[in-house]
Structure 1
Amino acid sequence: MTADTHARSIRVWAPLASRVDVLVNPVEGRREPTSAARRHAMTAEDGGWWSWTRPERGTLEYSFSLDGGDPRPDPRSAWLPHGVHGASRTFDADAHPWGDAGWRGTRDGRGALGGVVYELHVGTFTPEGTFDAAIGHLDHLVDLGVDVVEVMPVAAFGGTHGWGYDGVAPYAVQQAYGGPAAFQRFVDACHAHGLGVCLDVVYNHLGPTGNYLAEFGPYFTTTHNTPWGPAVNLDADGSHEVRRWVIDNALRWFRDFHVDALRLDAVHELRDESEPHLLAQLSDETASLAADLGRPLDLIAESDLNDAVVVTPTAEGGRGMTAQWDDDIHHALHVALTGETQGYYADFAGGTEAWPEGGPISVLAKTLSDAFLHDGRMSTFRGSVWGARVDPDARSGHQFLAYLQTHDQVGNRATGDRISDQISPGQQAVGAALYLLSPFTAMVFMGEEWRASTPFAFFTSFEEDWLADAVRSGRRAEFAAHGWDEADVPDPQDPATRAHSVLDWSEPSAPGHNEMLHFYRELIKVRRTQPDVASGDLRATSVKFDEEAKWLILSRGSVHVVVNLAGRSQVVPFTGEVEHILASWGRAPIVDGRGVRLDGHDVAVLRTTP
């Protein structure tokens, strides 16, 4: 369907139908089409498409009826003001008076690589949970030193509150966040603040309520299966139009909403055995659009493959993504700081088939220099050899995102507790310094920078009782199997679970929080101002450590991150003439001929004379 209000023709792909009607509502219509809806027969076109030419332009509310069936929203709905079961509404994407005509793209045309990304969830970033409310806190992100704001999925989903990964209308913007016009205002405001915008999109599955795609055509296939059931159809009969549905959606965010990057959820579940792979096709079409728009457009993948083929250019036979998330770095940091070794953390404690060479600090050293632990090694939690080595001569560290926390790694814990609930401020400072000054693109999870006390729990607001009960019981059973008392696991459907996850904006200036915020600002300043740290050259990164003494030194040319992971004060052996102390967490470090004396759980960033 052509979704803007200037278009006269409404189109839909419905190759399985023998008749399609469009039901037109009064714009002020109700949740479901009423008897006031006007029914118009659509004209069949080649390739399973149907069209109807409306008599006038302007905003229109409409639904489709397939072979006389119940009204269904448009698979390409631009706006669903009445929820995922209600009528679609047209949206004029050109109506917004954009103020970013001089915007050259993220980091003044350099793109997201090497910058600092800030992941936020619109619904809990502020108490209001809207784009317009989020605009009021953009100055905070600028002061922190953020380059790119990554927004968790905004595609329309069932209910008013949720994480967004169960969206069912990828072309629409969740009404509770303000709808599509509010998202345009948010992006425009970000650009005015010098911030790029990355949108998290989900193409590997749809949510459990409001998913009517299978009624329209072969959007799914049993040729492949995913954790959510049949896969999105990317290589079976009818896949050409499904691929266009995905790619057109991605390009639309860049073109109509001025988004600078997309984060693609779990791309390893995009099952495609055709050539080119969907990701490669998307990469090439995105590059073409970037040339037309005159600004960089980035594609950032979440991938479980541990294979740099994801970020290898399509001309070299790769998938062409700009960058990918790197959970191995997170896991190594988490284990070294918390000591947790359950589940997939076990390999990162060392002493396993995956890493028999040493303990958690040696694992951390490997991920900081090589990007992956599992790079052709045995992955015990996957039950097989996994991943491939990253070639430092071919790939930049900037093509991998490093982080201490993400929505997954916080929210998928039983209570949504943050790492700051488990470790001391000094330990968090150590973790922050290592990933923010690493050769990788860095990502901060909202609130992490001030050691937020609020959790980020898993929450939903499904309206169907059967679905609410299924989510509630499934969540509690999952964690009960790991020893949790069901009573301690928050009810995802309880509005209080979402309310408790909302950031407290009085904290950044409060004692116990503002010290960490200041340290994050200092680290990001070092990242921006020191060329050796700004580099993504993996070959210029070295790591020294002592597993038993619990210290580690990450060296980036003339800049050295010296950390004491032990709970006691000690001298970390260090050679080199220290020219300047760029940042430190605790007391000023004592540097003498023996090394650097640090308090327990402490870190100092030093620059030596070249």
Structure 2
Amino acid sequence: MSVEVWAPRAQRVRLRRPDTDDVELAVRDGGWWTADIDLADGDRYGFVLGDSEALRPDPRSRRQPDGVHAASAHVELDPAVWTDAAWTGRQLAGGLIYELHVGTFTPQGTLDAAAERLDHLVRLGVTHIELLPVNGFNGVHNWGYDGVLWYTVHEAYGGPAGYQRFVDAAHAAGLAVIQDVVYNHLGPSGNYLPEFGPYLRDASRNTWGQSVDLDQPEVREFIVQNALMWLRDYHVDGLRLDAVHALHDERPVHILRELAEAADALSAHVGRPLSLIAESDLNDPTLILPREATGYGLTAQWSDDWHHAVHVALTGETSGYYADFAALEALPKVWTRGFFHDGTHSSFRGRDHGHPIPAEVPAWRLVTFAQDHDQIGNRATGDRLTATLSPERLAIAAVLTLTSPGTPMLFMGEEWGATTPWQFFTSHPEEWLAEATAKGRTEEFARMGWDESVVPHPNDPATFTRSKLDWSEIDADAAAAAPHRLLLQLYRDLARLRRERPELTDPAFGSLSADAVDAAGGRRFRLGRGALTVLVNLSAETWHASAGLDDTVLLSTDRGVPAAAVGGVVAVASDTAVIIGPAVP
């Protein structure tokens, strides 16, 4: 077999293996170095560059048994593990995404342990599992966004073999897998790519470090081939592309369009849908417009505006970027038009922001959520909505999320009102890096007016432990589990209603309507999905809302509401959400 590595900055490249002499690689055009070497599954190896004697991992390493600073291990996936030959995939339209972090989803923090909980997700009504990044980072536990070896699967999670078993088990359960990938930066520890070649722009930085140099064709191919590895070799059904606004690309064809074209070509070959979902701060529909309409052709993008509008409506929090979303029209606007800032002035940014979404774009192309890893974990104490909202308002959050015109996404534990926080945690072995990370966090929150004494130290093992889900909140027979189970049942009922009622998956923006009024002690929202209406009463008094004579109450978060609207009126109690519409014949 041929071993190759792109290392245009090296004058000499050797391949080093245990208990054998180094092998000199030959250089060819473009800075590629090659040698004919037989590697078996599990064989350790690495590269030695120039006159140094330091071993460096393979930039395309698929396994790092001893961490990101040590030798790579050759990987040959066992084809006998796959039992998903009949799997035809799942389209995103009509789906329900569940975002989880492997290390904190279960007490064990492994892919095999996560697979044992797939039945919970099936009963919940989930269709797509979105895994936070699993590629190699330094340390044992981390959010995953400090990755430095994009082709690896973190060893503590189960490595490549564990990942293969997880995807196969998910498909057997009827669940698609979306993998979160980070192509906009690399982590601070174990990033040896610049020693090999110009992977990063020396004079260009984003929020997290040096920008990836997308002017280099080899770097672009490095990204595209990584995406195809997950989709093809690991049978993954989609990718969530982290912070694409930080991908600085001035080439004629944007890297996102290249990724979309590659995914579409592979989708046609394997005969199943492959979804690319962008996280973007731009509020720019170009990402999801068809390529023939000068768009990039991605499947979907996250809508932080949806989160902000729902968060402010439920919590009343209006600091920082939440300020603009205190407007009465914020929730109705994101309901009917997707973005709140679509060319309007953003007080947080100090400028006009965003672009309108064309009416012909399907609403499901926006991924919408009331909670996610960023919006929880980037709070000073990593507090969920559970920490501040009443059970009644948590139920309203469930209704808004599952009746959203977009594709709804849940963050792990949200479905039962988990009381565990999800905090920012690291396990940097380097003390200087651990302290620099902690200092950056406290300074950031101090600027936002938070008491820095409440910010947990990211590198404290207790920060990670606190962030693990406590499954006993729904598994135990104790009376304390009853409220959690009640909320979980609501999520299941809402997911079932979403599957049963076509109005709740109608993709047309034209089928949507919304209005809001200020009332005694709060606001009231009437949110339409075709023939169905979602009534949300956040005021202090009962709302006697008008309803069609043929309408009935399909679901209510208040068990005291009658089963049907009476005389064209339905009573919506304070802090209650009700879904009304014609009964199915």
TM exceeding 0.5: yes
Would the alpha carbon gap of residues 273 and 192 (structure 1) be closer, same or farther in structure 2, given more than 3 Å must change? same
What whole-Å deviation, never above 9, does each CA across 1:256-307 have from its counterpart, x for those lacking one?
1000010000001111010110000111111001111111100000011101
| Shift in Å, 1:506 | 1.2
Decide which of 388, 410, 414 is 1:422's aligned counterpart: 388
* Residue 378 (str. 1) matches residue 345 (str. 2): yes
After the TM superposition, which parts of structure 1 deviate over 6 Å for at least 4 consecutive aligned residues?
none
- Aligned residue for 2:534? 561
Letter in 1 for 2:489: H
> Contact between 2:41 and 2:75, CA under 8 Å: does it hold in 1?
no
Aligned counterparts of 1:481 and 1:55: Cα–Cα separation in 2: 55
- Aligned residue for 1:99? 83
- Aligned residue for 2:95? 115
What whole-Å deviation, never above 9, does each CA across 1:441-476 have from its counterpart, x for those lacking one?
000110000000100000000001110111122222
Aligned counterparts of 1:99 and 1:292: Cα–Cα separation in 2: 19
Which segments of 5 or more consecutive residues in structure 2 lack a partner in the other structure?
Answer: 476-480
Equivalence map 1:461-472=2 (5 Å): 461-472=427-438
| Shift in Å, 1:55 | 4.6
| Shift in Å, 1:183 | 0.5
- Aligned residue for 1:210? 190
- Aligned residue for 1:592? 566
Decide which of 21, 24, 27 is 1:44's aligned counterpart: 27
- Aligned residue for 2:266? 289
- Aligned residue for 1:605? 579
What whole-Å deviation, never above 9, does each CA across 1:54-112 have from its counterpart, x for those lacking one?
25644321110110221110110110111010100010024452010100001xxxx12
Decide which of 28, 43, 46 is 1:63's aligned counterpart: 46
| Shift in Å, 1:497 | 0.7
> Contact between 2:5 and 2:34, CA under 8 Å: does it hold in 1?
yes
* Residue 524 (str. 1) matches residue 476 (str. 2): no
> Contact between 1:76 and 1:171, CA under 8 Å: does it hold in 2?
yes
Decide which of 512, 524, 534 is 1:541's aligned counterpart: 512
Q: Secondary structure at the residue paired with 2:22?
A: strand
Letter in 1 for 2:34: S
Aligned counterparts of 1:370 and 1:391: Cα–Cα separation in 2: 9
> Contact between 1:231 and 1:270, CA under 8 Å: does it hold in 2?
yes
> Contact between 1:434 and 1:554, CA under 8 Å: does it hold in 2?
no
Which segments of 5 or more consecutive residues in structure 1 lack a partner in the other structure?
Answer: 1-7, 26-35, 351-358
| Shift in Å, 1:37 | 5.3
Aligned counterparts of 1:493 and 1:435: Cα–Cα separation in 2: 33
Identity value in percent: 48
Aligned counterparts of 1:341 and 1:440: Cα–Cα separation in 2: 24
Equivalence map 1:154-173=2 (5 Å): 154-173=134-153
- Aligned residue for 2:317? 340
Letter in 2 for 1:592: V
| Shift in Å, 1:46 | 1.8
Decide which of 416, 423, 441 is 2:407's aligned counterpart: 441
Letter in 2 for 1:389: P
> Contact between 2:39 and 2:74, CA under 8 Å: does it hold in 1?
no
Q: Secondary structure at the residue paired with 1:295?
A: coil
TM-score (normalizing by structure 2): 0.96
Aligned counterparts of 1:295 and 1:318: Cα–Cα separation in 2: 22
Letter in 2 for 1:326: S
| Shift in Å, 1:217 | 0.4
Letter in 2 for 1:409: Q
Letter in 1 for 2:264: A
Q: Secondary structure at the residue paired with 2:324?
A: helix
Aligned counterparts of 1:475 and 1:227: Cα–Cα separation in 2: 13
Q: Secondary structure at the residue paired with 1:365?
A: helix
Equivalence map 1:223-234=2 (5 Å): 224-234=204-214
* Residue 459 (str. 1) matches residue 425 (str. 2): yes
| Shift in Å, 1:231 | 1.3
| Shift in Å, 1:575 | 2.8
Aligned counterparts of 2:98 and 2:376: Cα–Cα separation in 1: 15
Aligned counterparts of 1:456 and 1:58: Cα–Cα separation in 2: 37
> Contact between 1:224 and 1:271, CA under 8 Å: does it hold in 2?
no
Letter in 2 for 1:547: D
Equivalence map 1:344-383=2 (5 Å): 344-350=321-327, 359=328, 362-383=329-350
TM-score (normalizing by structure 1): 0.92
Decide which of 78, 84, 101 is 2:68's aligned counterpart: 84
Q: CA RMSD in A?
A: 1.4
Letter in 2 for 1:177: Y
479-488 vs 82-91, which moves further: 479-488
